[in-house]
Amino acid sequence: MTQNKTLKIAVIGVGHLGKFHAQKYAQMPEVELMGVVDMDAQKARPLAEQYRTHAYTDYREILGRIEAASLAVPTAAHYDLAVELLQAGIHLLIEKPITFRREDADRLIALAQERGLVLQVGHIERFNPAVIQMQKWIDRPFLFAAERLSPFTVRGTDVDVVLDLMIHDLDIILHTVKSNLREISASGASVVTDKIDMADARLVFENNVTAHLTASRFADKPTRMIRVFQAASYLAVDCAKREISATRMEPVANRKPDEPTIKIESLSFTDRDPLADEIRSFVQAVLQGKDPEVTGPDGRDALQAALSISAQITKGLNHFKPSR
């Protein structure tokens, strides 16, 4: 436990995501941002100057000076860097996906447990206030429908669309359903990259809940929706706008069957910052010596489901061929 003291933290990898991690840490009074690390000095130096900290091009230079770190490097580098950081006794917030391989994720989880360290995985949608509200309104769901679409950008193409986008919804649904997977069926296509760029998956859990997930990084506009069909209501969650609506039958005495009374309740949380909440959760888990909101096993389970979907799609992957 590191209670009642300033937590010394660094951000390793300050590309698109890492720079925002640095911003949030710099705003926290209980944190001392000891440095930002990136192989590209042109990324690290301006950020270090902005937040009045130090810039490094080699993470080894900061070992021994920090107690915790955000790891926001490309996925291919997650495992090797995370092993070295955990072995150095550093609490870790590692961006999703936790690793490329299930066995590597298991190794990181075991290492963190052996050292008594916090290992949090950066599934940021868990901190989306609309998703948190969804959890409160869940009541005997039988079907989840998740749609996560994005226009093409080069960022994130080190992994396929399942590990890049769909894994967010996999984590949310696995966390919500809390049942083992019984069946997965999936299909997809490669359009822009040599990896899966569009994916569609159907999951059936042992408690008979079904989930239908669609992800694409070849869309006309961004969409991040989760719909929940359940015994007494229908929930629609717009993760991008941080809004949720619930459509319910309103109980009315002596109501006739052909006179339903429907109530729609909508909530908006536009003033909330999920990344700030995620960063704060990690810091508090370290300071208070408690488990993080999104644990290593959570990240491992989402990874396992994503890998199963990707493997099934890859067997029959369709490659886009433009017509002449």
Q: Position 132: which residue type? A: I
Domains of the chain: 7-125+275-293 (3.40.50.720), 128-272+305-319 (3.30.360.10)
Give the pTM.
Answer: 0.91
Q: 296-315 vs 167-177: helix axis angle to the nearest 10? A: 120
Span 101-159, pLDDT tens digits:
999 999 999 999 999 999 999 999 999 999 999 999 999 999 999 999 999 887 767 88
Rounded to the nearest angstrom, the gap between the alpha carbon of residue 106 and the centroid of all alpha carbons in its chain is: 18
Q: Are 121 and 167 in contact (CB under 8 A)?
A: no
| Residues 293-303 as b or e (16 or more Cβ within 10 Å = b) | bbbbbbbbbbb
Rounded Cα distance, 187 and 124, in Å: 26
| Residues 171-181 as b or e (16 or more Cβ within 10 Å = b) | bbbbbbbeeeb
Span 184-212, pLDDT tens digits:
999 999 988 889 999 999 999 999 999 99
Residue 318 binned pLDDT confidence (cut-offs 50, 70, 90): low
